[in-house]
Amino acid sequence: MDEHQARMILDGTHAAWSRGDVEGVLAHYVDDLTYFCNTGAPDGGPLLISGKRGLREMLQSIVDVAESVSVSEYFRFADSTGRATIECYIRHKTTRHTLVGSYRQLITYRGNRIERLEEFHDAAKMIAFWQMISGEAAIEKALLGEGE
């Protein structure tokens, strides 16, 4: 695999994600994938997922409540590993709050698919965004429930 092919695979995952197409994202991964993110676990710590089923559940939980667009801005490839900087936004469907930023990805390929993806976000910013969304969505739900 060369750098162009590796970037096309990565860009395919981001194009599918930007359409809200979880299965399209997963089509670019091996079945026994590993996903690591420096934040995202329930306690705010690192998140580690093994296999498509777990990644599907995590991605679908985001797609259910938010819309997002992401694109790779920088990409380099050597020794079956890609390094990318991703520009993105995520907008909560209910509150319309939006988080805009960039993060890094390390991508390990096997054949023509992604075997391991590591993401590195601004952890404090991500935690604050999701906590704010969770609180406001709960308040809105409670207020709507009171009107019934």
- CATH number of the domain to which 119 belongs: 3.10.450.50
d(CA 23, CA 115): 16
Is residue 35 within 8 Å of residue 49, measured between CB atoms? yes
Asked if residue 68 belongs to a domain, the reply is yes
DSSP, res 2? -
Of 78, 75, 82, residue with least CA distance to 108: 82
Over residues 45-88, the pLDDT tens digits come to 899 999 999 999 999 999 999 999 999 999 999 999 999 999 99
pLDDT exceeds 50 at position 147: no
Structural domain count of the chain: 1
Asked if residue 146 belongs to a domain, the reply is no
Nearest 5°: phi and psi at 77?
A: -140, 130
pLDDT at 148: 47
pLDDT exceeds 80 at position 30: yes
Asked if residue 109 belongs to a domain, the reply is yes
Of 6, 5, 1, 2, residue with least CA distance to 83: 6
The arithmetic mean of pLDDT across residues 36-50, rounded, is: 90
The whole domain housing 38 covers: 3-136
pLDDT exceeds 70 at position 124: yes
